[in-house]
Structures are given as structure tokens and as C-alpha cells.
Structure 1
Amino acid sequence: MDLGLLIILGGSAALSLGGGWVCISRWSRIRHLQDTPTSRIRSAAQGYVELVGILRPLGDVPLIAPLSGELCLWWRYRIEEYRSNGKRSSWSVVERGVSEGWLRLADATGECLIDPRGAEVRPAFRRVWSGSLRHPRGMPLRGLRGLLGIGRRYRYCEERLHADEPLYAIGDFRTTGGGRQGLDLATARKQVISEWKGEYAGLLQRFDSNGDGQLDEAEWRRVRLAAGLEAEERHRHASTGPAQHRLARPTERLPFVLSSHGEEVLARRYRWQALGGALMCLAGALLLSAKLA
């Protein structure tokens, strides 16, 4: 079997497997979006939930998009440079970035903070334009550096979320305070003991009764008892505060999506992507079978 045939067979198999993965993953997303009912923030259950609300500013410090300089609540950008090498030319990414600041979502019942890290974000605002500077807000270079930059072409892409925009969000929902969360005493006690071990000299000063520089079994029992009481006190203190709701990336392999578009628009896009994946899988399988025949 020659090298060319091996390359074709490998490419066909990769196309088929990649297309199958895209099809299955997109249909799985559709199922999770459609099977998860929309919840109200105040009454949402702990765990995987779907929320719909309006974005509100968080804090007094405005967030500025790096390429356009416009005010927003979240941004993502990409800078590409047009490169030509003989007969081949293409756009190559030279810089990209995404904001990681938290978002504040509000509905008629309450507010929820959203950690966007790890989310698939699909904003309604997307702008693409071009220019001759590496950074569209930069000053033109002078002298030799400016002459060397003549003829360079850059393409900029910026996506943003803004205040007062609707947002669809699905992810892991957790509430602290407000007396809603239960106490896992064993876990909370371990956390307290771990903090105390960070200041081991202070731990010895409090619990080393015989002054031998170490904690025996009886002294460790006192440590665990005191840590349990400390954990319960912290829980009581946290429960008396107002409820704070947060949405973040699920620990399981579940979709974490933030979108300016509603569920139906997202489901429609995923259906088209699933169809494209199925066609890729079929094309790869047909090509592979034709070459092996």
C-alpha cells in the first residue's frame, strides 16, 4: 500500500470520526437545552438550570472593549494578519483575547452572578473590519518601523455583551446565604482544620496541652471538636446573610451556554451543525469504503 493511499484512508477516517463527533455532541446539546425547563432565579433548584433575564452592570468600574473602546459587560476579540508567501496567502491569527469578569443577570424575582469562564458565549453583537495597524486603536508608526509596516493588512473581529440586553444562560446554579444551603459538617470541618494547619504554630499554642511540640490523639480529638464548632458557627453566620445566586461551568460534561439569542435560535443552529457533522461522517465513510473496495 503506497503512502498516498494511506494518507487518503487516514483523512477519510478522520473526516468520518470528526463528523460523527460533531453530530453526536450537537444533538446532545439540543437535548439538554430542550429538556431543561426555564427557572426563576429566586426559586431555582440547586444544580443544572436554565435562566432567562436581562444583563445589568456589575460595579461602578466600566468595562471597555479593547479594539473599539466601547463600553460593554463582556468582550471577545481576534486580530488576524494577511500573509502572502508566493502562491499561498491566508489570514493568520496574531492576537486574541476574552474578558473573564463576572456578569449580573436579573429577572423579575432576583439576580444571579455568572462566571463566564469556560462558557460557550454567543453574543448578538459581532463586528468585523479591517485596517493597516496591528491594533485598530494604536497610533501609526513613524520612521523605519512605519515604512516596514506599509502594505500590511489586518482584520479585526470583536464580539460584545451590553447592559440591558436579554441573556439566555444554562449552567450550574448554586445559592449561598439566605438559610438555603445545608451544612456538610465533615467537609466543613476538614476545611477549617486545613486552614488551621497553615498556621501550625498557632495550632500548637491552642491545643498542645503537654507542651511537647506535637499533637497526640487526645489533642487531635480536641482539634476536631473545635473545628466542628467553628464550622457550624461559620455556617450560621453565612445563613443569616442575604441569598447570593451564582451560575458557573458544571463539573459534569454538560453544556454551559450564554447567549443573546433564545433557546429556539440556539437549537436551530445546533441542528444545522449536527446535519453538517452527519454529512461529513457520511462523506468520509463513502470515501473510505470506495478506496478499500
Structure 2
Amino acid sequence: MNNKLINAWNKMYEKLESWLDSIVINLPNILIAIFVFIVALVASKYISKLAEKILNKSKLQPSMKNLISKFISIAVVIIGLFLILGILNLDKALNTILAGAGVAGLAVGLALQGALANTYSGIILSYIKHIKFGDWIETNDYQGEVIDIDLRAVTIKQVDNNLVYIPNKLVVDNPIKNYSTTAQSRVILECGVGYESDLRFVEKLTKEIIVSNFEAVQEKDDVLFLWREFGDSSISYELRFWINSTSALEVAKAKSETMILMKEAYDKNNINIPFPIRTLDFPKDFNFKKVTQET
């Protein structure tokens, strides 16, 4: 038993001694590899900052600039790792790592299909010009201002100041309504006046209200006024005009202000905005007292 222990110890000692010899022999390469690794880390940081400065001169979105600079930084570190493996004479290990990375990459890709789809969609959203920071958009039944686009989700701030995080894949796969693609937005308002009203006067007065209170409307012809139909209790019309804003909140404010101004002007000119009413026609010989007594 003692001989076996002694033999095992001798073999282990010989193995450790061979490892120590290998370390001593390869010590210069190890020191060079450590130096290369440090240089790669420092270089990745400075090259990333340099790439950001160059990209800031382009018209790419901030999210796309950050993404490209990060990829460049990662690429520099990977190149440094390949150099280190070459310095340490681990070429065979490199081939093994690459083969294993291929199999692992396939397994990870199958397991993370949703996450990878969001990442790919995030790259697309960062590159296209249809959506950018500050735009007011509507997608997937949510509406708000775009404040961030990353590799996972698009972040929008709603009118009530709540943040909504929408996965990139849903934004790419579904329709997007961008209110900020033009410099102006259209306000659409529907209303109605009584049948006794002078329709031409109503139209003239309403247009004057809009021209007097909104800078984007220079003359009456800029206001679209359309009579729509003879309703049950009123003659309805549709009013359309432009404002100098792309925010849905500003459109809502303009619509609210228009309603106040119209109500004030209509009241001063005895123009009635009727509400639905029901007229009951009773026979001439109808006896209300008798019906009341019976009930």
C-alpha cells in the first residue's frame, strides 16, 4: 500500500514538475499575452470613443451610434483574444473553441429565438429613419413620445407620463403611425347646429374663430368646413384645420380650445347647439288625469 502511495506521489510530482517547466519555458509568451490582453481592453475603450465621435457627424440615430460603437469595442477584444491564443501556441484549442462555439451558438439561437428577434428588430429600428427619438407615434394600441430604442424594446412616454416598453419585434411587425413626420397636425372636430340656424353665417363665424386664434391658419380658405348631414336633432358639420405641432397632446389641447371658443361665439350670436330630444304626440282627447288615476 505504501509503495502505491509513493508511486502515485512520484507521478504527481513529475507531472507538476513538467507543468512548472512548461510555465517557465512559456513565461515570456504568458507575459506577452497578458500585455496584449491589457492593450486590447484599453484599445477597445479608446477606439469605441473614437467611433462615437466619427458617428456623431453622421445622421444615424443615437441608438444606432451606440450599437455600432459597442460592436467595434467587442470586435477589438475578440481580435486580442485570438492573438493571445496564437501567442500561447493554442491553435488547436482555437479550432476546438470555434467548433464548440458553432454548436453552442445553434443551441442558444434556438433557445433565444424571441430575444434574438427583438435584437434584430432593434437594429432595424435604430437604422431606419421612420422612427427617431422625440417622435410621437402610435403602435400596438399605445401612443406616446419615443424616448429610447435599444436591443430589446422601444420605450415611449404617454400623455399621462407613464412609460411603455414595447418589444422591438412587435413594433416592426405591426403598423406604426408617426405624427412627427410632418411639421403640422390636423385638428378634426364635429359639431351640429339647430335647424333654425343660418348655415352660411354659422360657417363664416366658425372660420373667423379659427383664423383669429390659431397662427397656422392665415385665411378662411385654410379652414375646411363641411356640412355632413341632416341629423335627428341638428344639422351636423365637420371642421378641419392645421396647427404648428406634431404632438397628439397639442392636437387635443387645440381641439379643446376650439370647443370653448365656438361655444362662446355661438352663445353670443344665439346659435343653438341642440342635444337629442324626443317629441311625444298625444291624441287631442287624451286624458292625463285618467291615466294618472289608473296608475
TM, length-normalised to structure 1? 0.19
Structure of higher RCO (CA pairs closer than 8 Å, 6+ residues apart): 1
- The structure with more helix, counted as a fraction of residues: 2
Question: Larger C-alpha radius of gyration, 1 or 2?
Answer: 2
TM, length-normalised to structure 2? 0.19
